[in-house]
Structures are given as C-alpha cells and as structure tokens.
Structure 1
Amino acid sequence: MSDRDTRHKQSMQKLKSHVDKKVAAATEQRGLLLVFTGNGKGKTTAAWGTVTRALGYGYRVGVVQFIKGMWECGERERLAEDPNLEVAIMATGFTWETQNREADTRACQAVWAEAERMLADPEVYLVVLDEITYMLKFGYLDIATVKRAIEQRPREQTVIVTGRNAHRELTAMADTVTEMQEVRHAFNEGVQARRGIDY
C-alpha cells in the first residue's frame, strides 16, 4: 500500500470514528423546527424536497404557501394527487403586486388559520410554512402567535419555515437553520425564470 493510500485510510478511519460517536450520541427522537433562510435561491425547493421525502414514506404533510401560491409550482403540480398532501395557498399572489396591506392581512390571516389547524393535528407529520418570514416582516402576523403555534404542536411533528430574513426568535428556537447565500443569480443578469427549473 502506498503512503498516500495509507494516509487516506487513516484519515477515513478517524472520520468514521468521529461520525460513529455523533450517531451514538443522538438518542432523542422528536419532530424538528427547520429554518431555511438567506438571500439565495433554493429555500422553497429544499422544503419541497423534504415534502417529497416524507410523502415517500407515507406520512401526512401540510404545506402553506404565503406568497408564491398563485404562481405555477412544478413540485405542487407533481405531488397534488397524493392523498397525504394538503396545500393551503394565500390567494393574493405577491404582496408587492397587490400593494394593499388590508387585503393582504386578511388573506394572510385566513391561510394562517389553515396553518394553525395543521400545526395542531398529531396526524400531520410535516408542516411547511413557505415564505412566512415575509408575513412577520410586513406585520400581517405577529411573532408571538407563530411561536406559540409552533411550540404547542405535537411532539412528533416537524415544521419547516422558509423565507428571507427569518425572525431572530424563530432562528433562536430552531433545531436546524440553513442559510442559502446568493453568490450569483441569473435573474439579476436579465435571464428569465425558467419553467421546471426555477418554478
């Protein structure tokens, strides 16, 4: 065995020992709070990937779309027939299109009622609150209400929160926070969003 092969084997043995210790230490089982935030692309896509994973195991999933629900959504179209998936949509489109705070607040409160129902249901394994961060930022929802619903959810239920500028109180209570960082985005260079790729 060459020196390089020997060093590689030793490195992999060390890595395996480290991973094995972490696996052995992870003994708690419960639902999680995941926050996907940051200014980079992929937060909603990552959430839909997790939705697909949960549905693949036959779990019930609820998705609440606070902003992009009026747009085409390839993931939603593909999964819509799954009897274990429920999707609730805030039926106003982008808030910067409507420019009507009162109407947007009413629409947000209506779809939030659906979210609260899902968050209280022990049969729902995963709840996605897609783009809810904007609802908090614009004041359509208050953080205490959202936190209370998340904290009081069934123990086995996982919640995913997506959107830019996640509220600091949500990130503080989260089990996992992933920040998508934009390095370059084609849209900023004048390239249109592409069907099947961007939505």
Structure 2
Amino acid sequence: MPDTTDATRHRDKMQKIKAARDRMMEGKTGEKGLIIVHTGAGKGKSSSGFGMIMRCIAHEIPCAVVQFIKGNWTTGEREFLRARFADECTFVVSGEGFTWETQDRDRDIAAARAGWEQAKALIRNPDIRFVLLDEINIALRYDYLPLEEVLAFLRDEKPPMTHVVLTGRNAKPELIEMADLVTEMTLIKHPFRDGIKAQKGVEF
C-alpha cells in the first residue's frame, strides 16, 4: 500500500502551498520607497518602527529618526541608538512632551515645526534611505503641522527609493489613503487599566 502517513500528507500539502506561493512571487519584482503608517490605540507603533531601524542598521542601510512629542522622555531606543549606533542612525528629538505636559500650544507648534524641517532635510538626503517620524501623527492630529504640507512633501519630494514611517494614534484619513502600507494596532488589553504604570523596557 502507498505510504499515507501524516508526514507524507504534510509534505504533499506543503509542496502544493510552495508551488502556489512560487507562482504568486514570480510577479512580485518591483521595489520602491514606501510610505508606511503605524496607527491605532494598541501598543507597538513606535516599537515596530524602531524594529525596522534595527533591520536597517543590520543591513547597513543609512537611517534616521525624528522623534516628535516624546522629547523629554528618556527612552531606551534613544539611549541605545545614540550610544552605540550614532554613525549609522541620525537621531533627532523635536518635542518637549505630550501637550498636556507642556501646556503651551505655541511651544508645541514651534517644536513640531523644527522637527519637521529636520525631517525634510533627512528625507531629501540621498545618503539616507529610511526615516522614522515617530509620533508625527500626534503632531498632525493637534494641527501642530499642516497636513497638506506633509502630504505634498511626501508625494512630491520624497526620493523614490526612500522609506518613510509615520507612527502615532489617529492617523489622518488622507495620510492613510496616500500610504503604501498601513497597520492599525488594536487594543485588546493593557495593564494601565489595572493601575500599572508605564515601565522600562516595555513602554520606553
């Protein structure tokens, strides 16, 4: 009798899946610089962006971070990148904290504007291939930056092979429409609801 063990059935199934996937991948040959949005109420938006920064460093792809809003936080990613990978990754801090902490809208706008000017210079730089705009969606949500200006720059001035990641809750619908890749982090459970504060290594 033919061999009909579980191992054989599994191998036959995987061979069919591989053949189908190989056919699908034959037509996926293009490359382009992507506009990537990480948004949603769930945790992991910045974490995912910084994970991509680690990949860039590993692949020797010059990269940069502009951190909006969180400026007065001491974050692990900032300390790590500045201490160990300052040559591989430019790290710019433009914010002074969340708006309820600064309580000064004009100062928040000025900080966001300064960060955006530096972001534009980094994105235009032909030597940099990946730029993370951490929490820029918050700056756009509070109208610290003009949405149309940001969209026009990404559409008209971003180099064709440069990737730009924009993180933060409440991404504007127009930005989502323009983006090539959008991920929404969904909140299911969070320890904050049980009285647990933000902790090193998890939130920052």
Structure 1 residue aligned with 2:31? 29
**Structure 1: which 5+ residue stretches go unaligned?**
none
Q: Aligned match of 1:109 in 106, 113, 126?
A: 113
After TM superposition, the structure 1 stretch with the greater mean CA deviation from structure 2, 9-18 or 79-88, is 9-18
Structure 1 residue aligned with 2:70? 68
Structure 2 residue aligned with 1:170? 175
**Equivalent pair of 1:108/1:135 in contact (CA under 8 Å):** yes
State the SS of the aligned residue for 1:197. Answer: coil
State the SS of the aligned residue for 1:194. Answer: coil
Question: Deviation digits for residues 36-69 of structure 1, max 9, x if unmatched?
Answer: 1111001100000100110112221111111123
**Equivalent pair of 1:130/1:161 in contact (CA under 8 Å):** yes
TM-score (normalizing by structure 1): 0.94
**Structure 2: which 5+ residue stretches go unaligned?**
none
In 2, Cα distance between the equivalents of 1:109 and 1:52? 27
**Equivalent pair of 2:64/2:122 in contact (CA under 8 Å):** yes
The change in CA–CA distance for 1:70 and 1:21 in structure 2 (over 3 A counts) is farther
| Residue 125 in structure 1 maps to residue 135 in structure 2 | no
**Equivalent pair of 2:81/2:91 in contact (CA under 8 Å):** no
**How far apart are 1:125 and its partner, in Å?**
0.8
Question: Deviation digits for residues 86-130 of structure 1, max 9, x if unmatched?
Answer: 111124111111121111111111111101111111111101111
Q: Which amino acid aligns with 2:134?
A: D
In 2, Cα distance between the equivalents of 1:42 and 1:171? 18
Q: Which amino acid aligns with 2:201?
A: G
Structure 1 runs of 4+ aligned residues shifted over 2 Å read 1-11
**Equivalent pair of 1:119/1:150 in contact (CA under 8 Å):** no
What is the alpha-carbon root mean square deviation over aligned residues? 1.4
TM-score (normalizing by structure 2): 0.92
In 2, Cα distance between the equivalents of 1:87 and 1:47? 13
State the SS of the aligned residue for 1:87. Answer: strand
Bigger-Rg structure (1/2): 2
Q: Which amino acid aligns with 2:69?
A: I
Q: Which amino acid aligns with 2:89?
A: L
In 2, Cα distance between the equivalents of 1:15 and 1:171? 32
State the SS of the aligned residue for 2:202. Answer: coil
